[in-house]
Each structure stands twice: as structure tokens, then as C-alpha cells.
Amino acid sequence: MEVVLGLVPGLDGCWALDRFTDAHHGPTSTAMSVGRARALPARGDARVADELARGMADVVQRRRLPRDVVVAAVPSANPLSADLAARVADLLGRSSAPLLGVRAGWFGKLDGQVRGRITVKVRTSPPHVLLVDDLVHTGVTVSDCAELLRARGAVRVWAVAAVVAGDLDPI
């Protein structure tokens, strides 16, 4: 399944492999895979992340993004987004870069909340950026990332996520 998300401010397009839950069956198999992949990086099992990255790369390839698009992870307390971004970039034959980070708060990065603490790690953003996230809830974080990148020179910004949960409306 593929979910094309409605208007997300600052993004030229936003897609997900699947919804987090199905109205009749509860969490989707993709959501379960994201849960497993979030738990597995420390154990070194890459099969689930490989499967998710292949699906995300397939979604992006259908969009025919510019050849110079740079793949970047949406900052997260969990390393899965960065892992997926590297895998998606490799599958697409595109470069990846750590364009974004998180400014440590009072308790560092342990609380998992990145809103308002996202930083751009480069002086000038590449003109075309594909953001990769494991889970999108409201779209606010990817929207904030796009806004920050555009302020540093990005012309077009897209996002792909493994699953979407929350208030974003599919088209």
C-alpha cells in the first residue's frame, strides 16, 4: 500500500508506505515492522529496515525526483530514521547527508521530543532534498525541517515515511 498525504506545509510532496492502523484490523503490518526496526538496531538485525527502505525507495522512484536530490533523515531520538535515510539513498543511487540535527535540551535528546530544537547542520542547503522519517504523526516536524532547509537555500523539499499516524489526510 502507498499513502499520498495531503498538503503538508513547506513540502512539495509527502508519501508514506502505509497507515499506522487499519480501521478494521488495528496496527498494519508496516506499523509492526517499524516497531520491530525501532527495537532492533542495537541487535544488528537489518532485515526489517532493509524491507522498509526498499518500499520507501519504490515510492520515491515513482515520483521521478531530480537526480541531484540529497537524502536526509528527519532528526529523531531513535536511530531508525537515519538508518532508513542511508538505505534509501543507497537504493536510489543518490547521496545522503546529515543536514539536520537536534539541539540538546535540558535533558539532552532522551525525551524524544524534537519540536523546536531542530537545527540545520550546513551553511547552505542543497537545492533538492528528500527527507526520510520512520513515523509521521501530524507532519509538523517534517514541515519544520523543510522550512529550515528552505531558509538555507533549498528550492524543493519532499518527504517519505514508513508509516503515517494521526491527523494527516491522504489524498
- The alpha carbon of 56 is separated from its chain's Cα centroid by a whole number of angstroms, namely 10
pLDDT digits (tens, 9 = 90+) for 82-139: 999 999 999 999 999 999 998 766 554 444 555 567 999 999 999 999 999 998 888 8
Phi, psi of 17 (to 5 degrees): -70, -40
What gap in Å lies between CA 46 and CA 37, rounded to an integer? 8
pLDDT digits (tens, 9 = 90+) for 71-82: 999 998 788 899
Domains and CATH numbers, the chain: 3-164 (3.40.50.2020)
* pTM score of the predicted model: 0.86
Q: Using CB atoms within 10 A of its CB, is residue 168 exposed (0-12), middle (13-18) or buried (19+)? A: buried
Angle between the N-to-C axes of helices 47-61 and 80-92, in degrees from 0 to 180, rounded to the nearest 10 = 50
Triad 155, 156, 160: Cα angle to 5°: 150
